[in-house]
Structure 1
Amino acid sequence: MRLLPLILLILCLPSQLLALEIRWRDTAKIRGDQITLVDLADIRADRATAAYLASVGFGPAPLPGRDISIDSRDARQRLLNTYPQLLGANFTGSSTIRIHRSGMLIDAARIKNLVRRKLEELARNMPNVRISLKQIQAPNDLILPEGKLRTAVRPLGTDLLRCRSVVIDFSIDGHLERRLTVPVAIRATARVVAASRDLPRGTILGKRDLTLVERELATLSGPVYKPASLVGKKLKRAVRRAQALSNDMVTVPPVIKRGEPVTIALASGPVRVEARGIARRDGRPGETIPVSNISSRKTVLCRVTGPGTVQVEY
């Protein structure tokens, strides 16, 4: 019990050291989340007594940046209720103690800057994309306890381009102090591949059919950034001039048509045997199609390796 050590301490002190004065301050500025006697008063006593009384608690501190007032008479009575042996102590000083808890002000401008810096960092991993902050609903003021501040910003969700909020963690001295969710509107644009003219369904795309246009990515699904990746592919549907293209809108045309003659290859180690055959189905690179061997008149499954060439699957 805290009471017993104090009783023993006071009883064992020489009489000339028993004079104890607690002088209440007018104001007190604190950093921690608890109020102690040493925050409220100057303790005039021998070193051991002063050190012991310094840690006597008076409850939780105000929020960072806020003030509260304590009546020194109430503080004295609270102290005597716990330590009646202090009744003979001399209590002097202010009748009211104004307590201010210091804090760090994080204003809206700083929060916006944190979000912008995070977007710039993420944009470096997306070289084709330009990201900007259209809107942010940052709080007016955020006051945190004093200490070593660290912040961590992350988009809420997995799709940055359609992100509607970001989460900001504020840690003081290694401990999470506040987690803030901030609504945002992000604008992400890029130069994407589009049709250079109206193109009908079934068009085999060439370089002249494609161009680059600036588009906001939130309005697109699966945009393509390099025209070369679409050259030689076939449109599944008609598109209008300047319409952005995606991989879902094209297909790879077959390099082998049904009924065409093909070369059948059979490889085993260094040995390679070839035969002539007839494709029984259209085939694209990597697909497996049935092929009739002209010599044996047997149908075998072959993997398409290129225009007019297949390899026996076994």
Structure 2
Amino acid sequence: MKYVTGIIVLLLLQVTAAFSAPATQVVTEARVKEVVADFVRERTANLGVETAIKRIGPLPELKIPVGTISYEIQAPASWEGWGRANLALIVRVNDRVEKNVPVNVEVEALADTVVALRSLERGDTVGPGDVAVRKLNISALPGKVYRSVDEVVGKRARMAIRPNTPLRGENLEKIPLVKSGQLVTIIAESPALRLTATGRARGNGAEGDIVMVQNLGSLKELPARVIDSGTVQVDF
């Protein structure tokens, strides 16, 4: 009799445990990859690149409570959406965080990229015939790459550049129009008034750069924007 009673009690405990265990659902690896792919597409939309996810994970299946699932992916602020990155996948059920999963990704990106057609020596000015646009995988290229010929024509090579080299921000610089010590015309104007004065540049500057200039009348120094080779403008 005691043996039968023990079996009944055991069965009752098993039934109770089965009813009391919280229901769960599974987020598959395939679903996580879909979420990551959607995130990459949204992050690179309208950037003029064609992305392809080369690798995600590996990722485990995620067991979470039953309920309404929502996903959030957090990425480093500096990540443009291609190359390698460590992302964080946050899974919520009924707006409550249930999982925070690290996700390693590697994304390729094809984009129009400016390349040198010939060897450029340091100090050479880039002309229209010196460069061309080709579609390249930019995911492994560090730093900013130039995407159009207009961005580079008229700039100066900061270093020697070999043919077929993708041009990046560090390769080129704007040619200074104003040099330190040069006399310049300082312009200050508003819709109703225009004033000019003679000044002396205290630094080199290309078009649009801000340089310090000394007003030779007042001897005061103030920041001014370079307009051309002999003119700078100050805020009125």
TM-score (norm 2): 0.71
1:243-282 pair list within 5 angstroms = 243-256=165-178, 264=185, 270=193, 272=195
Structure 1 unaligned blocks of 5 or more:
1-69, 79-95, 294-298
Residues 89-100 of structure 1 aligned to structure 2 (within 5 Å): 97=15, 99=18
Change (3 A) 1:301 1:178: closer
Give 1 or 2 for the bigger CA radius of gyration: 1
Q: Among 154, 160, 168, which residue is 1:238 paired with?
A: 160
Residue 228 (structure 2) aligns with: 306
Task: Write the distance in 1 (CA, Å) between the matches of 2:185 and 2:86.
Answer: 57
Quick check: 2:187–2:231 contact (8 Å CA) kept in 1? Answer: no
Q: How big is each residue's C-alpha offset from its partner over 1:33-64, in whole Å with a ceiling of 9 and x where there is no partner?
A: xxxxxxxxxxxxxxxxxxxxxxxxxxxxxxxx
Q: Does 1:172 align with 2:108?
A: no
Match of 1:73 in 2: 9
Quote the Cα distance in structure 2 between the aligned partners of 1:312 and 1:154: 42
Using the alignment, how far apart are the partners of 2:122 and 2:68 within structure 1? 62
Task: State the SS of the aligned residue for 1:219.
Answer: coil
2:42 — aligned with what?
Answer: 121
Amino acid at match of 1:99: A
Does 2:87 match 1:151?
A: no
Give the gaps of 5 or more residues in structure 2: 1-5
* Aligned-partner residue type, residue 67 of structure 2: G
Give the TM-score taking structure 1 as reference length.
0.56
Using the TM superposition, give the Cα deviation of residue 281 of structure 1 relative to its aligned residue in structure 2, in angstroms.
Answer: 8.0
Structure (1/2) with the larger helix percentage: 1
User: Number of paired residues?
Assistant: 220
* Counterpart for residue 61 of structure 2: 141
> In the alignment, is the contact (CA less than 8 A) between 2:203 and 2:212 conserved in 1?
no
Please state how far the C-alpha of 1:157 moved relative to its aligned partner.
Answer: 6.2
1:128 to 1:139, Cα distance in 2 relative to 1, 3 A: same
**Bigger RCO of structures 1 and 2 (CA < 8 A, at least 6 apart):** 2
Instruction: Pick the aligned partner of 2:27 from 69, 87, 106.
Output: 106
Instruction: Judge conservation of contact 2:92–2:98 (CA < 8 Å) in 1.
Output: yes
Give the CA RMSD over aligned residues: 3.9
Distance 1:234 1:300 in 2: 32
